[in-house]
Amino acid sequence: MPHNLQVEVIGCGDAYDAQHTNASIRVTEAGYQLLVDCGPTVPARLFACRDNAETIDAIYLTHSHPDHCLGLTLLLNWMDSNGRKRPLTLIAQRQQWPVIEPLLNYACWPQSALGFALERHNSETITALGPWQLQTSTTRHGAPNRSLHLTSRCGHQLFYSGDGLLSAQGEQLAASSEWWLYHIDPAIRAQLSDKVAALPHLSLAQDGETFTLRESPSRAVD
Ligand SMILES: [Zn+2]
């Protein structure tokens, strides 16, 4: 069976974007599913996909600003209400767990625990997840943010910035990646769209878009 890497743009909007879902992607390879960021408008998009409560294996949080993590409570509550039993992996920055834990506790309130285990990993030190090798790097942002770089078994590389200005290491990781997903200010989207239209190998992500990176060196877009 080929090892295709699938990237689904759940949302490409910023915190208060009325037209787009909060920035988030879902990455799938070899049956392993990773959700990157989970702002408050993200769960509704996943529900619209008629997702099964067991399908997501892991959630990576670039940082703990509300538009990147406030959807966790509803998503985990939904998984629990729909009978999830499989453990869920959560990856976040070590110092941001105190901000995230109340969101997790509220997901099962008034019970004391979810009906499935949460396996926590720190994004500073994680190097492997499911079928991927992982690297993370800091950005300059109001809250510490860690970009995610993922190397797939089929050799493709994906970079997801999260918020903020990339570090030198982040720029290197982005440059080595075929796919680089960045957070766009809605005020400049139209202007940026015009500029990007002239560039053959670049496009602006749209909510709901799905890309498949195939195992062979040739790349296909669904
Ligand atoms: Zn932010």
pLDDT per 10-residue tile (average), the chain, 222 residues: 85 91 95 97 92 94 97 98 97 98 98 97 97 96 96 91 94 90 81 87 88 66 37
The alpha carbon of 211 and the centre of ligand 1 are apart by a number of angstroms equal to 25
Per the structure block, which two tokens stand in for 93? Answer: 């920055």
Backbone angles phi and psi of 72, in degrees to 5: -55, -40
What number of helices (H) and strands (E) belong to the chain?
6, 13
Query: Per 3-state DSSP, what percentage of the chain is helix, strand, and coil (rounded to 5)?
Result: 25, 30, 45
The alpha carbon of 221 and the centre of ligand 1 are apart by a number of angstroms equal to 29
The alpha carbon of 61 and the centre of ligand 1 are apart by a number of angstroms equal to 11
Q: Provide the 10 A C-beta neighbour count for residue 18.
A: 6
The alpha carbon of 12 and the centre of ligand 1 are apart by a number of angstroms equal to 13
The alpha carbon of 143 and the centre of ligand 1 are apart by a number of angstroms equal to 6
Q: Residue type at 55?
A: T
The alpha carbon of 42 and the centre of ligand 1 are apart by a number of angstroms equal to 15
Neighbours of ion ligand 1 (CB under 5 A): 65, 163
Say if CB 82 and CB 112 are below 8 A apart.
no
The alpha carbon of 121 and the centre of ligand 1 are apart by a number of angstroms equal to 20
The alpha carbon of 220 and the centre of ligand 1 are apart by a number of angstroms equal to 31
Q: What is the structure's pLDDT at 219?
A: 44
The alpha carbon of 124 and the centre of ligand 1 are apart by a number of angstroms equal to 18
The alpha carbon of 144 and the centre of ligand 1 are apart by a number of angstroms equal to 8
* Whether pTM exceeds 0.85: yes
Q: For 5-213, CATH number?
A: 3.60.15.10
Per the structure block, which two tokens stand in for 144? Answer: 């510490």
Q: What is the structure's pLDDT at 2?
A: 63
Calculate the alpha carbon distances from 194 to 13, 62, 179, 199, 210 in Å: 18, 28, 20, 10, 22
The helix (run of H) or strand (run of E) holding residue 101 is helix 97-108
Say if CB 133 and CB 126 are below 8 A apart.
no
The alpha carbon of 162 and the centre of ligand 1 are apart by a number of angstroms equal to 7
The helix (run of H) or strand (run of E) holding residue 181 is strand 179-181
Q: Residue type at 217?
A: P
Q: Residue type at 163?
A: D
